Amino acid sequence: GAGVSQSPRYKVTKRGQDVALRCDPISGHVSLYWYRQALGQGPEFLTYFNYEAQQDKSGLPNDRFSAERPEGSISTLTIQRTEQRDSAMYRCASSLAKWRLAGVGELFFGEGSRLTVL
Amino acid sequence: DQQVKQNSPSLSVQEGRISILNCDYTNSMFDYFLWYKKYPAEGPTFLISISSIKDKNEDGRFTVFLNKSAKHLSLHIVPSQPGDSAVYFCAALDGSSNTGKLIFGQGTTLQVKP
């Protein structure tokens, strides 16, 4: 597709359920990032992939959060046993090449997946 | 601990005037700074950036100024247009990072009145 595609756009779930959020980056983009954005705040880094390798997961809040990118393209962010504090907009972003080779700033964001945990 | 701060949640200016959006940071390891613009229901889009070796970068109506000693940067939009109304995020890159993760500020909502 032309841009970064995320699904679902909206997800409402009950506390304790697992959710999976999908990101389809721009074709050929090597770097992929997940961010979380609370209302009225800026995006907060969660994790980074270079191709299929998860090279930085320092932003994942706890072990209920995990992410994968098995074939170096589509990525899934999974939240297990969701809690109300997990409610937020989850944003995926991709970049053409590995960081600092792509040109700083060439990060393309998707429209996000808004998660609401009841 | 907010390493990148945008202390003004909102700003309103008249069309044709200058808009000045401010950003402060605390981490001296930050070596690259970016501004992103976000319209409602869309993802943020890259606007302009500046390396820490420079103090000014200009792109059309947009200019970013960096004051390293004060750990402060600002985005100037001249002249402001109604289409510039959006949320603006300041972001910083840690020079010691090899993954390119950005640290974002809270955002400033700009309203340009016709």
Tens of pLDDT, residues B53-94: 999 999 999 999 999 999 999 999 999 999 999 999 999 988
Please count the residue pairs, one from chain A and one from chain B, whose beta carbons lie less than 8 angstroms apart. Answer: 71
Min CA distance, B26 vs chain A (Å)? 16
Kindly write down the DSSP assignment for every residue of A34-94, as one continuous string. Answer: EEEE-TTS--EEEEEEETTEEEE-TT--STTEEEE-TTSS-EEEEE-S--GGG-EEEEEEE
State whether B104 and A56 contact (CB < 8 Å).
no
For B25, the 3-state DSSP assignment is: strand
State whether B4 and A42 contact (CB < 8 Å).
yes
Q: How far is the CA of A80 from the CAs of A13, A16, B30, in angstroms?
A: 11, 7, 34
State whether A40 and B4 contact (CB < 8 Å).
no
Residue A28's pLDDT band, with cuts at 50, 70 and 90, is: confident
State whether B102 and A43 contact (CB < 8 Å).
yes
Residue B104's pLDDT band, with cuts at 50, 70 and 90, is: very high
pLDDT of residue B31: 87
pLDDT of residue A102: 47
CA B66 – CA B51 distance, rounded (Å) = 9
CA B6 – CA A80 distance, rounded (Å) = 33
Query: Per-residue pLDDT tens for B16-60?
Result: 999 999 999 999 999 899 999 999 989 999 999 999 999 999 999
Yes or no: say if B63 and B47 are a contact pair by the CB < 8 Å rule.
no
Yes or no: say if A21 and A6 are a contact pair by the CB < 8 Å rule.
yes
Nearest residue, CB atoms, B99 vs list A55, A105, A106: A55
Residue B2's pLDDT band, with cuts at 50, 70 and 90, is: confident
CA A106 – CA A98 distance, rounded (Å) = 11
pLDDT of residue A95: 87
pLDDT of residue B100: 81
**What residue of B is the nearest CA neighbor of A38?**
B106
Res. B97: pLDDT tops 80: no
pLDDT of residue A73: 93
Query: Per-residue pLDDT tens for A45-103?
Result: 999 999 999 999 999 999 999 999 999 999 999 999 999 999 999 999 998 866 655 45
